[in-house]
Structure 1
């Protein structure tokens, strides 16, 4: 087992957590500033690339002995990012591209919050975490609330997109 440091995290865990915090901040700024996450904005691009790095670093963390739910979530997140990027370029989805982009990138944003709550509530406060483990019923309730917030957020984004009020500064170019 790897040596642990700050908050019981390995060196890779610390790097992974730092990158994920940058991704979440970039995602929040993109959502508040542009009301969507898209590769058409710098904050959207920062979110996507730091989320990719979060997933990749997460694949090297085996806190529970092997491939587990967090790794599966990382694969699902990368798939959502790929779908959002393809949709943002207008590929495959035709007139639904902007909607698919919003749904996919919003899903990848949601996927940050599930491990964030799980890791925080099962680690802190140090020595007496609020929840005993990742299977605690409270985490299932939190995940359900996050799911509802995701549905509300995506619904609002789709309504805005249908209203024809583009917020993003420019379309994604092939080389950017």
Structure 2
């Protein structure tokens, strides 16, 4: 089966790690309405996404260092910033916003290679897209980006509401 999809065993391993990360991210969003390291789902998302990004750095399907490798490095930077925001309060009072937005961004990043790699391989024999630059990929990736933007606005509004609920009222400060 791997031969039919033109994928190596290492590529399949990378894909499984990435899928576990995505599922964990969605579990966190559904269960807790945010992705945070202090939950099993959020922590699983974080570590499996790191695993996917690191293993992605060793895949050279198109011959050399390229856009997928840049996306892997960017994902690692975004996750480091999410960790810094959540665990070290690195953005001060904006850390709650930064945490959920950086984690949501990392979740979105999963969808770029997922669409590119899947849609350039299936359906078998007549893939949807001819390669990573195929304009037909703009639709699925653009749709994921719009969903990401909606989710980001939702996360910001939710964080504002949480902040207001936790803020001391008059005479309580």
Q: Same fold (TM over 0.5)?
A: yes
Q: Which residue of structure 2 lines up, in the alignment, with residue 132 of structure 1? A: 130
In 2, Cα distance between the equivalents of 1:16 and 1:164? 36
In 1, Cα distance between the equivalents of 2:88 and 2:147? 27
Please state how far the C-alpha of 1:11 moved relative to its aligned partner: 1.3
Could you tell me which runs of 5 or more consecutive residues in structure 2 were left unpaired when the two chains were aligned: 164-173
Q: Which residue of structure 2 lines up, in the alignment, with residue 52 of structure 1? A: 50
SS in structure 1 of the partner of residue 120 of structure 2: helix
Please state how far the C-alpha of 1:6 moved relative to its aligned partner: 5.6
CA shift digits 1:42-89 (9 cap, x unpaired):
000000000001011111110000101110000000000000011012
Q: When the two structures are aligned, how many residues end up with a matched partner?
A: 163
- Root-mean-square deviation (CA), in Å? 1.6
8 A contact 2:4–2:124 mirrored in 1? no
Tell me the TM-score normalised to structure 2 length: 0.89
Between Structure 1 and Structure 2, whose CA radius of gyration is higher? 2
- Higher RCO (CA < 8 A, seq sep 6+): 1
CA shift digits 1:103-145 (9 cap, x unpaired):
1000000000111111111001122111111111121232222
In 2, Cα distance between the equivalents of 1:37 and 1:138? 31
Q: Which residue of structure 1 lines up, in the alignment, with residue 32 of structure 2? A: 34
Could you tell me which runs of 5 or more consecutive residues in structure 1 were left unpaired when the two chains were aligned: 166-176
Please state how far the C-alpha of 1:157 moved relative to its aligned partner: 1.1
In 2, Cα distance between the equivalents of 1:16 and 1:114? 15
Tell me the TM-score normalised to structure 1 length: 0.88
SS in structure 2 of the partner of residue 40 of structure 1: coil
In 2, Cα distance between the equivalents of 1:142 and 1:129? 14
In 2, Cα distance between the equivalents of 1:31 and 1:127? 36
Q: Which residue of structure 1 lines up, in the alignment, with residue 84 of structure 2? A: 86
